Structure 1
């Protein structure tokens, strides 16, 4: 699926048509294919479940160009060959990446006189077989793309495979293709199982081993049937390079763990790591959670322009080993209270990989135990931090203070050699890191021993930006911290007068040594927010500074609808034919926070799905006060007029405005907080 079907495409007069609908309109005016395979003459084949074809026994790893290039001219033979070169030169091949996959726009607009597909002569002057030969010469494999419809998903509408399955499959095999991504546009309403099964039979008839990737966007619940058809299947609409999109897709994919296994995988879409729309912390979360979910790892960034940080994330072999574990278990949710997620994945060697994932916009303590993640009872355990590449012992507690939007990824095992490692300690923060310029705020830090052995000569330091005053009000060190106990230090933090509102980095660090003399240094970053109290009286929230914001597509817009791409590309907010001048335009899943400092009483708004989504879109609006939901609308649709919402936020330090997807994914979910006011 292209990005556009999960979005809406703007046309004049505030009329919006999804790319899927646009594709159907194009197909309605298209002529019939020149040559089509006849179902009555299709080769007979003995069909077995696709997951038994011996392919993709671990999730496929490789590259796909779509997220970084779409159909731009830079997608061409030179780029594809260059990616293959980089796989070898940068060690990605050695780390496990195999497939160099072409997405849409590789083909000519029409089939030839024999009904065959041909490569675009400008993009691929030497043809696809020459590209495949080059990729194979590097010890890699080539993937290709087409759609289970009359045309592909690109706006031009290149030839699709519906009615041409056997000839196209044989052509791919003759070219040396090793992987097929089979999309869902312009499908003429033909039953999905039938369309995708026909291509499976066509691929098997070629006799060439070709990994089969079903891309029908989760519309027909492929996790319930596609293991008998393909090696992997998309569970969601397209991902975009934003925190909100990645988060929404992760939440849709996590509950489907039972469907995944060797040869048949849930596919939450390609990686966005390195495309620039998220922070490195968020990209590490993206890579961690895709690995814990045993998802295909298909790089979606242009590796010719990638930063060292991007390569560091993508080539972390300890995290890749989680994804590629032969047992093939997808991680399961242990808990997810208040945006504090614990997801555990069983590994072939009996260990558990535990993701402590922080969905929220501030540092959070996330905890579980060895028993809760499924490990047997033991005197002690080892815990390996897969991003820090360090090993500790623990008495059974698994806990960390996780930065905003961050993930701590641990491999935990009942290990008889636990005493050889230093004790794990948790660095914690108590108190709200919200402070007004020129005024002091109290913070309390803890250094807690989670290990079976004591931590000795323990000391803590807290550092911040230049010019900030950070003063310890209690001891910062102690001779020893026994198992389960903590060094607790009170601090006073003061940003200079005149400090601009915004987010600033602080860091808590600890030093200690193990009973065997190993010296350990540990640190955790977190963010302090310099805030300003809202003005007295009634104010539009779109006129006040945001504490934090995340959005499913594009930025949160002030006083316009959500434009999905860059700031300022929205339209006037319109719900049920009524135009509103003030408010926030968002796209599910979305969360926007405001500092209220305990001085405000009520939030009011008129809310609904923006008219620009046509007849699509379902959302739900929520208002939270200091972590407690105080108002919600239930599911709203485009057919509904603007609905009033009011919430009592008396005494709250932070108000959070949330829009969820209504339970059906984020397609078309433009949502407006119109006439959004707060009384203080």
Structure 2
């Protein structure tokens, strides 16, 4: 499926999904009828673990560099860069591989410019590498690209035979131009056509979750899309995560929930966010289809995609999708049962600031035990814990653990948690007081414990109490006070600090742990009434493109928006955002009220559903219900007295982020 904002035939994921979504405040189970506790694996033995491979669409779409040379180059890189060894197998073609018309015999014709030797020659090349080839078409008269290549509706058996004759191993079957034919009929017909070929072909149903395929497709396809298209930004990834998580009971060997391809490496997110993306898709037992052009990929991209310990979570043969343990305040704990009895546990921080996220082994589903082994799958280190699983997780970060009730737990060093009490909001030349904590979570003592806090060059960071301890026993904590001063004249903005601790295990091995932190240098807000669009923000997360000042969201570069317009009324001042949006402002306890006229911008016609919230120090101070384009602007007023930070939050109304242009018109701050 295509970019949801440019592909004109895209339809929104049905509102029936809304009851099954999660929100930052908590978790809701899907409203759909419950599936069997353990749906049986299909008899064909295909996709017993989630398919892993590559699809070109997210990086090339129909560009000139999508051709046989590219596909063969990706196969080469799978082998050269160790991705094949990590488990990646499928090299999949997306749309635009064919000519726009069938031949005189009604057969599909590969584009002779892109694929001069045909698809079979490419399949032979890929197979010679020990890999498999995938192809794409749509369950309609045309495919989804703007050109519209021949779809398979009415040609299912002939097209399936062609695919099998070419040596195709995987079919992605899209949902465009379907002429209103019942979804179950469309997808079952192609299932039967594929089976009739006698060739084992993994069948990927791409109908975007519109007809709840998780309820009916376990005996139709091997995987089914649960949402609209993913895009290479934090908001899109997060929205799709929240739609897919409640569907855990429907996944299993041979039938997987598919939250769409990976964006890792495409450049729209940070490496921290990409590690979260990869971790969360793995703990959800999602198909792992690389969406970046590996010919241009960085070392960090290969490191993320090639992390075999994370891949092992995704590929666990038990086939469980992880379930939500807790999610309050954007502090997510997601646990996945593993075949060996262990649990993969993701501590995921949705928020824009570092947060402590904690659970325990029993809550994650493990039996009671005196101690547990804990493997950090990104740090590749093993510790022991008496039961607590906790970490200070960076903004948008994920700590992914594999936890087991291991009789040899005491052979590992104790897990040590680092934390920081006190805010990281500083004014230049004014000391801030902080307290660091180092806590032994293990069932064995940590010895010769020391802690250090470092800041940018020129900053003064001084301990005001002891920064070492001879020993910490289980649950023991070293608390150290700090004075941190940014130099006079330091511009407002975000600056990195590092909290680091060293200690020795009972066996004498030296261990080091550290947490990256972000401090914000701020300036007090002006007295009186100010437009928020005229003030600097602490942070801004936006679904598409940057937050715009005094215009609507244009989805791409800064300054590409239009006049803010809600219900026919044009506003000269305000903020234009796109769900999921979150803008934080420093108010320093000196302000009393925020007011705004809010709604969906008129530029999206009848599309777009959003909800607005104003948070004062993470406590909801005001909010709306779900708003649509058909509604006039609503006045929103929040009492923020005493708050240090306020946040303007826009959520997606519970149906994904397609066309969710939201306006904070005339947004004002009274101080």
Residue 656 (structure 2) aligned to one of 662, 665, 668: 665
CA distance in 2 between counterparts of 1:278 and 1:226 reads: 33
Q: Is residue 2:174 matched to residue 1:183?
A: yes
Please state how far the C-alpha of 1:390 moved relative to its aligned partner: 0.5
Q: What is residue 10 of structure 2 aligned with on the other side?
A: 20
- Write out per-residue CA displacement over residues 149-183 of structure 1, whole angstroms, 9 at most, x where no aligned residue: 11111111111111111111111111111000111
What is the deviation of 1:105? 0.9
278, 293, 296: which one aligns with 2:287: 296
User: Which residue in the other structure is 1:358 paired with?
Assistant: 349
- Identify the residue that residue 570 of structure 1 maps to in structure 2: 561
Q: Distance in 1 between matches of 2:483 and 2:204?
A: 55
Q: 2:5 aligns with which of 4, 7, 18?
A: 7
C-alpha displacement at 1:8, in angstroms? 5.2
What are the within-5 Å matches in structure 2 for residues 385-464 of structure 1? 385-464=376-455
Mapping 1:635-674, distance limit 5 Å: 635-674=626-665
- Give structure 1 stretches of 5+ with no counterpart: 10-17, 23-47
Match of 2:616 in 1: 625
Maintained 8 Å contact 1:602/1:648: yes
Residues in 1 aligned to 2:49 and 2:262: alpha-carbon distance in whole angstroms: 17
User: Which blocks of at least 5 consecutive residues in structure 2 are unaligned?
Assistant: 13-38
CA contact (8 A) 1:454 1:483 kept: yes
Q: CA deviation at 1:512?
A: 0.5
Equivalent pair of 1:273/1:310 in contact (CA under 8 Å)? yes
Structure 1 residue 566: Cα displacement: 2.4
- C-alpha deviations, 1:402-459, integer Å up to 9, x for none? 0111000110000010111110000011111111112111111000000001100000
CA contact (8 A) 1:367 1:398 kept: yes
Match of 2:570 among 564, 579, 597: 579
- Judge conservation of contact 1:540–1:582 (CA < 8 Å) in 2: yes
Give the Cα separation in 2 of the matches to 1:661 and 1:91. Answer: 39
Separation of aligned partners in 2, 1:137 and 1:649 = 65
Alpha-carbon offset, residue 49 of structure 1: 8.9
More displaced, 522-531 or 564-573?
A: 564-573
Q: Distance in 2 between matches of 1:51 and 1:432?
A: 53
Q: Pick from 249, 258, 267 the counterpart of residue 276 of structure 1.
A: 267
User: Please, which of 32, 41, 57 is the counterpart of residue 48 of structure 2?
Assistant: 57
Aligned counterpart, 1:496: 487
Q: How does 1:478-493 map to 2 (within 5 A)?
A: 478-493=469-484
In 1, Cα distance between equivalents of 2:366 and 2:389: 12
Does the 8 Å CA contact 1:50/1:230 hold for their aligned counterparts?
Answer: no
**How big is the alpha-carbon RMSD for the aligned residues of Structure 1 and Structure 2?**
1.3
1:315 aligns with 2:323: no
Structure-2-length-normalised TM-score:
0.95
Within 2, Cα distance between the matches of 1:174 and 1:573? 55
Q: For residues 554 and 206 of structure 1, what CA distance do their matches in structure 2 show?
A: 45
Query: Partners of 2:152 and 2:488 in 1: how far apart?
Result: 65
- In 1, Cα distance between the equivalents of 2:11 and 2:72? 35
Per-residue deviation at 1:554? Answer: 2.1
**What's the counterpart of residue 102 of structure 2?**
111
Q: 2:205 aligns with which of 192, 210, 214?
A: 214
- The answer on whether the counterparts of 2:41 and 2:253 sit within 8 Å (CA) in structure 1 is no
8 A contact 1:539–1:679 mirrored in 2: yes
1:516 aligns with 2:514: no
CA distance in 1, matches of 2:167, 2:472: 62
Match of 1:528 in 2: 519
CA distance in 2, matches of 1:124, 1:140: 19
Q: Secondary structure at the match of 1:228?
A: coil
Q: Distance in 2 between matches of 1:67 and 1:360?
A: 26
Out of 233, 240, 247, which is 1:242 matched to? 233
**Counterpart in the other structure of 2:249:** 258
CA displacement at 1:118 relative to structure 2? 0.7
Kindly report which structure 2 residues correspond to 1:118-267, keeping only aligned pairs within 5 A, or say none.
118-267=109-258
Aligned to 2:20: none
- Over residues 46-80 of structure 1, what are the superposed CA-to-partner deviations in whole Å (9 max), with x where a residue is unaligned? xx999332110000000001111111111111111
For the residue of structure 2 that corresponds to 1:247, the secondary structure is helix
Shift of 1:553: 2.0
CA distance in 2, matches of 1:84, 1:490: 54
> 1:594 aligned to 2:566?
no
1:278-309 CA distances to partner (integer Å, 9 max, x unpaired)? Answer: 11111100000000000000000110011100
Separation (CA, whole Å) in 2 of partners of 1:148 and 1:675: 46
The answer to whether the Cα contact below 8 Å between 1:214 and 1:230 also exists between their aligned partners in 2 is yes
Shift of 1:379: 0.7
- Superposition misfits of 4+ residues, deviation over 4 angstroms: none
- Displacement after TM superposition at 1:107 (Å): 0.9
Which residue is 2:543 aligned to? 552
Distance across 2 between alignment mates of 1:244 and 1:205: 42
SS in 2 for 1:634: coil
Alignment of 1:467-482 (within 5 A): 467-482=458-473
Q: 1:50 and 1:677 mapped to 2: Cα distance?
A: 57
Question: Residues 150 and 547 from structure 1, CA distance in 2 versus in 1: closer, same or farther, beyond 3 angstroms?
Answer: same
CA distance in 2, matches of 1:194, 1:605: 48
After superposition, give the CA deviation of every residue in 1:551-573 in whole Å (9 maximum; x if it has no partner).
Answer: 22222222221122222222222
1:244 & 1:620 partners in 2: Cα distance? 15
Residues 41 and 48 in structure 2, CA contact (< 8 A), matched pair in contact too: no
Task: State the SS of the aligned residue for 2:162.
Answer: helix
Contact 2:595 / 2:667 at 8 angstroms: preserved in 1? yes
Q: Contact 1:583–1:674 at 8 Å: present in 2 too? A: yes
Check whether the contact 1:20–1:186 (CA below 8 A) recurs between aligned residues.
no
1:132, 1:177 within 8 Å by CA — same for their partners in 2? yes
Partner of 1:374: 365
Distance in 2 of aligned mates of 1:276 and 1:502 = 22
- Deviation for aligned residue 1:629: 0.7
Structure 1 length normalisation: TM-score? 0.93
Aligned-partner Cα distance in 2 for 1:138–1:622:
53
| Deviation (angstroms), 1:133 | 0.8
Q: Report if aligned partners of 1:426, 1:447 keep a CA contact under 8 Å in 2.
A: yes
Following superposition, the deviation at residue 536 of structure 1 comes to 1.2
Between stretches 80-89 and 668-677, larger displacement belongs to 668-677
1:609 matched residue in structure 2: 600
- 1:83-138 deviations in whole A, cap 9, x for unaligned? 00000000100110000001111111111111111111111111111111111111
CA distance in 2, matches of 1:200, 1:21: 24
User: Is the 2:9–2:177 contact (alpha carbons within 8 Å) kept by the matching residues of 1?
Assistant: no
